[in-house]
Amino acid sequence: MPAWTGRLLALAFAALVAGFVAGHFAGPLAGAAAALAPVLAALAWHLRQRERLVRWLEHPDPGDAPDAPGPWGDIHARFYRLLKEQSRSRASLSHALWRFRQAAEAMPEGVIVLDGTDRIEWMNPAAEGHFGLTVKRDRQQAVTNLIRHPAFGDYLAARNWGEPLVLKGPAEGDRILLAMLVPYGRDEKLLLSRDVTRWERLEAVRRDFVANVSHELRTPLTVLRGFLETMTDADPADAKTRDRALALMTEQAERMQRLVEDLLMLSRLEDSRYPLKEEPVDVAALAAAIVAEGENLSGGKHRLALSAAPQRLVGSREELRSAFTNLVTNAVRYTPAGGAIEVRWAVEDGEPVFRVRDEGEGIAPEHIPRLTERFYRIDRGRSRATGGTGLGLAIVKHVMQRHQGRLEIASEIGRGSVFACRFPATRLVPAVADERAA
């Protein structure tokens, strides 16, 4: 039995005894009054304490809890402890919810919380960007009214969510998303999304690369096989046919060799295990040698001019030679006979620049951003006729990236093109070091 209950019974017993004694000496009415007075006083006090407790519970404040002696003090203390525990639990839950939201908002994957009727309850910034939505505007909206991709509606209705769904262009025309529904709770769902545009593009590049390499190798191999069959069946005394076949076979073999060498060069440039071999490079002497090779390739059909400053560059001589050679040979291949080609090595605005200007047919603006892609050709037939592999500008781009530089391309139809390799000023060899080397 609680202590306050025993005290109340004792008080009632004392009141009855007092009433009995008073009734014996003063009469029945006085006895009844004497017996009821303490009980009424105790009842009034208890009613007052109850009213204080009710008012406090309407707006409970731990700092303003009522205080009373006896049993009501125990009741107030118990309510106070319950309120403190509830406050701590609420604070802990709020903090956990805040941390969950912070983590969800920082995720690169999109997260949309759907209720049992497929309405949006919450989403993180990544999901807003993926689907073109905003949580303030689109909350409590049906997700099928906002993501109007037919495949998504079928995926949601089928309830077969073991495999993700590929969505192309739900918000932006060229974006590719991987979406997946995860059920939880009572018919609630999480719609998770991941932007896989970059990976899809890389996969497309890989497929195109394999197809292009196969195609580029198949043509010379077909020629070689055909001429081998011709020579096998031909009259051994037919020297003219044999010489022509050997010449064409040599040409195709050289073409395959150039392709393999360019592929190996690209592989080395992209492999992080091959660090950049840096050394002072005499670019003027290197440019002179490359221009001489260009004149041999031209066979006197073009006018090549070289202007080279004496400044040396810190970099890989092998890689720089490959990049500059590709620019000069491309200029020779794509410039009509009689055209001029200008090769210039100079310091412009404090930055070293290797520039090749030609008088070719020029390049349309829509092709320029894709020129450095592997095997990208504006005119496939003409490119094969000139003997190019389709990898030259890709090599130039990677060489420039490894040297912290950039390839700049400017062209105009009918007025030729300019290809410039611009290096950072930090790669210039200081003049004092050049003087000591001399």
Q: Residue 402's closest CA among 424, 384, 432, 417?
A: 424
Query: How far is 373 from 376, CA to CA, in rounded Å?
Result: 5
Is the model more confident about 182 or about 20?
Answer: 182
Domain 202-270, classified CATH 1.10.287.130, yes or no: yes
Mean pLDDT of 115-138: 88
pLDDT value of residue 95: 73
Average pLDDT, the chain: 79
Side chain identity, residue 210:
V
Strands 303-308 and 340-348: parallel
pLDDT value of residue 326: 92
Q: Give 4's pLDDT tier (boundaries 50, 70, 90).
A: very low
Q: Give 54's pLDDT tier (boundaries 50, 70, 90).
A: confident
Is the model more confident about 381 or about 361?
Answer: 361
According to CATH, the superfamily of the domain at 107-195 is PAS domain (3.30.450.20)
Angle of the 392-402 helix axis to the 317-334 helix axis, nearest 10? 150
pLDDT value of residue 390: 77
Q: Check: CB of residue 120 under 8 Å from CB of residue 112.
A: yes
Q: Does this chain's domain 107-195 share its CATH topology with 202-270?
A: no
Side chain identity, residue 399:
V
On the question of pLDDT at 292 being above 80, the answer is yes
pLDDT value of residue 101: 74
Is the model more confident about 71 or about 380?
Answer: 71
pLDDT value of residue 388: 63
What digits encode the pLDDT tens for the residues 216-266?
777 778 877 887 777 776 666 567 777 777 888 887 787 788 778 888 887
Percent of the chain's residues with pLDDT above 70:
77
Mean pLDDT of 72-76: 70
pLDDT value of residue 421: 96
pLDDT value of residue 198: 81
What digits encode the pLDDT tens for the residues 406-415?
999 999 888 8
pLDDT value of residue 23: 52
**11: three-class secondary structure by DSSP:** helix
Q: Residue 184's closest CA among 88, 114, 271?
A: 114
pLDDT value of residue 387: 55
pLDDT value of residue 237: 59
Is the model more confident about 208 or about 244?
Answer: 244
On the question of pLDDT at 186 being above 70, the answer is yes
pLDDT value of residue 240: 78
Q: Give 2's pLDDT tier (boundaries 50, 70, 90).
A: very low
Query: How far is 247 from 255, CA to CA, in rounded Å?
Result: 12
Residue 131 phi/psi, 5° resolution? -110, 0
Q: How far is CA 294 from the centre of its chain?
A: 42
pLDDT value of residue 43: 67
Mean pLDDT of 174-198: 86
Q: Residue 366's closest CA among 374, 378, 384?
A: 378
Q: Give 172's pLDDT tier (boundaries 50, 70, 90).
A: low
**346: three-class secondary structure by DSSP:** strand
Query: How far is 218 from 224, CA to CA, in rounded Å?
Result: 10
Tell me the domain boundaries of the chain. 3-99, 107-195, 202-270, 279-437
Is the model more confident about 218 or about 15?
Answer: 218
Domain 279-437: give its CATH code: 3.30.565.10
Mean pLDDT of 360-367: 88
pLDDT value of residue 3: 47
pLDDT value of residue 152: 87
Side chain identity, residue 22:
A
Least confident piece of the model among 93-102, 282-291, 357-366, 381-390: 381-390
On the question of pLDDT at 418 being above 90, the answer is yes
Query: How far is 306 from 297, CA to CA, in rounded Å?
Result: 16
Query: How far is 242 from 173, CA to CA, in rounded Å?
Result: 57
On the question of pLDDT at 324 being above 80, the answer is yes
Mean pLDDT of 101-105: 73
On the question of pLDDT at 34 being above 70, the answer is no
Q: Check: CB of residue 374 under 8 Å from CB of residue 391.
A: yes
Q: Check: CB of residue 53 under 8 Å from CB of residue 69.
A: no
Percent of the chain's residues with pLDDT above 90:
25
